[in-house]
Amino acid sequence: MKKIALLAALLPLAVLPAHAEPTGGFANGGWSAQYGKLDGHNRLTLNYETAPLWHTGLGGTRLELVGELGASYWWASNALPGYAKNMWQLNAIPMFRWWPTERLYVEAGIGATLVSEKRFHDKDISSTFQFGDHIGAGFKISNNTRLGVRVSHFSNGGLKGKNQGLNQLQLNFAMSF
């Protein structure tokens, strides 16, 4: 029943007219750099951001879907015995970005990530496959630059063994091509 209600709530978005040219985001895609820190570990990410894969107007606002493909390097100043102090991560995240004005946005997305370690810093995440959940907000500085903040959670979603997960609070800088 919940799935039917969600589908019914999202169905009107499919019939809204799409605009020919995005006004809030990057029409041709771009790149972003993120720095995150929380719970004693750090993360540096470089992402390729696609041009909007889908976008539509919503009563004077805009909603768009973009893809983020990236690589991250995680590090901690110390780690428990048997736990890695460093690891790599690859991600593919579809991000919905809502622009209530031409300059301000709110974003959210869930996607797949692969990490190089199953035990990092002080967390046992049990698998190299993880889901990445993201929510953030920011503003457009100029037509080709954005600055934002994002909260991210990475976990295996209970697919295998322990699921302690990793959390990050990040600063995000993006630039269009």
Q: What CATH number should be reported for the domain holding residue 113? A: 2.40.160.20
Whole-angstrom Cα distance, residue 47 to residue 171? 13
Position 88 in a domain: yes
Residue 151 belongs to what domain range? Answer: 34-176
Is 13 contained in some domain?
Answer: no
pLDDT at 157: 87
Structure confidence by residue, pLDDT tens digits, 7-61 = 444 444 443 444 434 455 688 999 999 999 999 999 999 999 999 999 999 888 9
Mean pLDDT value of segment 145-165: 91
What tens digit of pLDDT does each residue of 113-153 get? 999 999 999 999 989 999 999 999 999 999 999 999 999 99
What global pTM score does this model have? 0.83
pLDDT of residue 25: 67
Domain count for the chain, please give it. 1
Q: Rounded to whole angstroms, how far apart are CA atoms 50 and 27?
A: 9
Q: How far is CA 75 from CA 88, 93, 108, 132, 137, in A?
A: 9, 22, 25, 18, 25
Q: Is 135 a domain residue?
A: yes
